[in-house]
Structure 1
Amino acid sequence: MAGKALIVVGLLAGALCCVQAQFDFTLRPIIGILSQHPLDSILEGLEDKNYTSYIAASYVKHLESAGARVVPILINQDDAYYENLAKHLNGFMFPGGANSITSSSGYGAAGAKIFQLVLEANARGVYLPLWGTREGFQMIAYLAAGEQNLTTPCSAINKADSVTVAEGYMDSRIFTQMPDYVIGYLTFSDSTVNFHRKCMTPENFTNSGLTDEFKLLGTSFDFDGLEYVSLIEHVALPIFGSQFHPEKSQFEWKDDEVHSAIPHTPQAIGVGQFFANFFANQARQNSQKFPTKEEETAALIYNHKPFFTQATSGFVQCYLFR
């Protein structure tokens, strides 16, 4: 058995060497999460309310659970700030929230700049992935469609749901890497949770011309039976988005009537963990790093502490920035 084990280890090491030779690769991925203007409910329970942006800690834990580290990305910064991060990070995430996805908000303006930087990096051959959740997903679609508003009113607040896979779904990076049992969890159980009043219908997705750039991988249904796009992937670039929240099942525990649908089943945990692992692995295909260890350490979210915000908001914890 010992000999066989050594052979397996050797094969795995050889495979990793091949991967490293084929791609730029890192085993220390750092992903930037875009912050946004804080909701009143987040600040309500704090004595000091002098904060200009926040990130829900569940997004941070989601990525950390897959072996990635996180850098908070502040809003309302100059272009040089975002350009510098795009040269040193291994990936970006646009989280959900209640901020505008247009340039009228700091979140939307920074998102537009980062989206352009991601496109430019990939055009140069730098594998720089981007994930969007909820409004982050909608912002990716909005920007990719030339700033068209593709959403329509819908009713999917506090709704656990399955995902109906689209034709050709297996012709995608997400599903070719998803184990069969996780596909089963995703499609046959209420393993995702949704908190949105706006959504993109398959018709809007198609009519916008996004089908030339993105694959529609899955849909879900709101409380009124309206079908909406729930999962997309760019046809060529490492850009992905979900209308549902992969991070909540593991890390959000508010159980009032507005958040009672968050599934904490083993199936939902498995689905959420898959998406964390998937995106962290995308980030590992980028070998960018900060010029010095000191700059890396100064940028990491470890320099900030999360606040307990569950008493007044839907988030157990939030990171807040000035």
Structure 2
Amino acid sequence: MVDSYGRDINYLRISVTDRCNLRCRYCMPEEGVKNLGHGQILSLEDFARLVRIAGRVGIKKVRLTGGEPLVRKNVVKLIEYINMVPGIDDLAITTNGILFADQAEELKKAGLKRVNFSMDTLEDSKFRYITRRGQLEEVKRAVARALDLDMHPVKINTVIIRGFNDDEVLDFARLAIRYPLHIRFIEFMPVGDLLFWNKERMMSSGEIMDVIGGTYPLYPEKGIIGNGPAKYYHIDGGAGSVGFISPMSNHFCAECNRIRMTADGKLRGCLYDKKEIDLKQALANGATDEDLQQLFLKAIARKPARHNMNQGWGAQNRRKMYQIGG
């Protein structure tokens, strides 16, 4: 399906839960989190039905997110369901990695093709600070397990925050030299009304590239599966790549190919779009497959031209990142 601005919309990101086993400072408050109740979230069968309908309107790629998707009970079964949907040729997950290693083999057997890990630091003390809980060693073990199972490409998403982890940029780049990992440096974004974000902490992709390029010449890289908004580069002799995602300094909205579904069944055209279409209510009202298909087409048709991230999150946007899906 082509939207109103000529973009081919073929990618659906699904938040399967708003729950998480970490409390990252730029994503969730430390306390007072009011999670959705069991009856407020979509069932696995509902998700599977909606993915099947999405496939009819041109969705070919599905990514499961959260919250933390691996805290959702029976998420392996959902992966099995989605893997059987005709036309879906790319099924991936974004995870903090804490629970991944022990489930990895089962996830791959169910049909999971690849995985992105969120990891913002390589230092134990800083990991405990930014996540407020959890052990970095579990994430490292998860990355190693994904490589062992040949779930390529294995990607690491790293949000660079000035004054916190900007001194680790070269350390992350060296991971892409030593291992077949694709390190994606992401600009710090204002998502939700959390006070941790401020514009002085935002380090642009250009600045990050300059840090790496001053030590390791960068050469444009192509052909990485699921490259999305990232611009990838190869380092001579490197086993992997480094990528840069720049929603703040150089938005990629003209090439955006995605829509988002929340755990409570709301369809969004953009992370920053306050307008939502209520699929859960439609399901409760006995909507037919044709009815639901029309709702997907409506969401695609009204996908905004671009985000307004540089203006801040906005008081009207009451959801936080974990409530929409990373």
Category of TM-score, reference length = shorter chain:
0.3 to 0.5
Higher helix residue share: 1
TM-score normalized by structure 2? 0.39
